[in-house]
Structure 1
């Protein structure tokens, strides 16, 4: 892990990133555009913010990436597009609390994927954390089946989409993990965001037609930019930077604050009160994720 002197405290940067990503679900809910369109413009505007920095500040540059690294970044970009598409759609059908909690389960799926695909050892505590997280997910699903979920038109469907989005995040992490050890942050995310943008554009055109891309009132464009600048640039891009300066387990556990922040914002700004079983299941999921993430150093 890099310990060189940096101009910004990594802990402070991580705190800002967690606050930024906590606004993501709220911004998505505020927008009236189709889910795929929101996802497309979020990534497009994030790419527009990151690409100039990559061109001016990174000497290695995208052009110097090997074919293997470009292929890996491309796979990560496709996975990220599927993640955004599934998660944004999830927020249309279930509560912010359930969606954001379930999508944060990616450390669980990273641990499972690394064990089966990369033959990595999984400790007993990590296995226990995975089982606890899965139990929490089952509890949240049970709340939906029993009609105890108080928000969302189709909570079970929305929760399933959130879990799918978490799986895609795990694919994104596993695809990019070895590349990030060799490639600087900005060239890597430029390729990933570029591929992600192209895939989401294809999804929008195929599902809703090119006419769905415009026109939108100024309020919608401001929300698209806010999604890119807040959760995109100051959120996930800063998280990627922080991974070079603090332990990955610290980053993973810190991100567990996102569901709490998003739920409180949804309560204050959307008057959205999750059901008791949803909250209980969410707490169980977060405990399982925390144990799993802490074991994967």
Structure 2
């Protein structure tokens, strides 16, 4: 496999910063959650359409049936991830929902082992436990027990599992399909799925305030085009577990932004949790990088040589 021209870990960091804006824009918007999710993906596809038609549309006929299937599954799971996550915010606290939805390593490790036979060192597993523990510590004071809160927490946890599946299927496809083509196909499928959802829910597509339209567009640009798309780019060079670990930084980034934008206070416990998350992720990435250096390159059944950059 060719070496990337840009450090994938730097790209991953930019992606994490970008997706950290998601909760901020969703909190600022007043539209129903299904509408927010739909327009987030709709504007993303709209912005990508000219470039895709101009340069990449011919690649559609080169996509295999298996990759089409995986792309459809990936797109549908991404759509329902947004639906369940935004719905969870109606029943539980923002902190609880955000932390639970970013606990992707729990599912990524299991899925990567079962489907991709990835083996993780004891140091990597210990680092992940440390990072997850720090993530829970961030919102420890916001967890509370009630029927509706537990229901919201469950929705967030399911949303976490769904986005992990989205990345896992994307990992399989992304190595054979260019970034623009893959993301355009997946986001288009998600948009259609969300459109059907809002119709079934009876939610109106308009009118909404001018500020809501601005937030829809910002959600498309930052957490989606810069966030998820950069993650999809990283899937060529990094595994799902590494990306899932990095996403644990989202509550940290969102908390810092909320501090400056909404004057939300950061408690000593939250600050300590943030430092623990960052430490755990750094240890994990350093161990994962050392493991990659030790690996000998194998070109057996390598399909990546035919990939279009």
Q: What is residue 205 of structure 1 aligned with on the other side?
A: 199
Structure 1 unpaired stretches of 5+? 148-152
Q: What is the distance in 1 between the residues matched to 2:17 and 2:153?
A: 23
1:206 CA drift (Å): 1.4
Q: Structure 1 89/284 Cα, relative in aligned 2: closer, same or farther at 3 Å?
A: farther
1:235 CA drift (Å): 1.8
Deviation per residue, 1:179-226 (Å, 9 max, x gap)? 11111111111111111111111211112x1x5211112111111111
Q: Is the 8 A contact 2:35 2:198 kept in 1?
A: yes
Please say which of residues 82-91 and 153-162 is displaced more in the overlay: 153-162
Q: 1:61 aligns with which of 59, 62, 79?
A: 59
Q: Structure 1 271/95 Cα, relative in aligned 2: closer, same or farther at 3 Å?
A: farther
Q: Is the 8 A contact 1:144 1:155 kept in 2?
A: no
Q: Is the 8 A contact 1:95 1:272 kept in 2?
A: no
Deviation per residue, 1:24-46 (Å, 9 max, x gap)? 10000001111111001101111
Say whether 1:162 aligns with 2:156.
yes
Q: What is residue 297 of structure 2 aligned with on the other side?
A: none
Q: What is the distance in 1 between the residues matched to 2:132 and 2:239?
A: 25
Q: What is the distance in 1 between the residues matched to 2:224 and 2:92?
A: 22
Q: What is residue 264 of structure 1 aligned with on the other side?
A: 256
Say whether 1:190 aligns with 2:184.
yes
State the number of aligned residues.
288
Q: 1:71 aligns with which of 63, 69, 72?
A: 69
Matches within 5 A, 1:1-16: 2-5=2-5, 13-16=11-14
Q: What is residue 299 of structure 2 aligned with on the other side?
A: none
Q: What is residue 215 of structure 1 aligned with on the other side?
A: 207
Q: What is the distance in 2 between the residues matched to 1:294 and 1:96?
A: 31
Q: What is the distance in 2 between the residues matched to 1:263 and 1:27?
A: 13
Please say which of residues 285-294 and 17-26 is displaced more in the overlay: 285-294
- TM-score, structure 1 normalization: 0.79
Matches within 5 A, 1:1-297: 2-5=2-5, 13-58=11-56, 61-129=59-127, 131=129, 143=141, 155-207=149-201, 209=202, 211-244=203-236, 252-273=244-265
Q: Is the 8 A contact 1:136 1:285 kept in 2?
A: yes
Q: Is the 8 A contact 1:132 1:284 kept in 2?
A: yes
- Partner SS state of residue 213, structure 1: coil
1:286 CA drift (Å): 6.6
Q: What is the distance in 2 between the residues matched to 1:116 and 1:294?
A: 24
Q: What is the distance in 1 between the residues matched to 2:227 and 2:139?
A: 29
- Partner SS state of residue 204, structure 2: helix
Q: What is the distance in 2 between the residues matched to 1:275 and 1:93?
A: 23
- TM-score, structure 2 normalization: 0.77
Q: What is residue 150 of structure 1 aligned with on the other side?
A: none
Please say which of residues 66-75 and 193-202 is displaced more in the overlay: 193-202
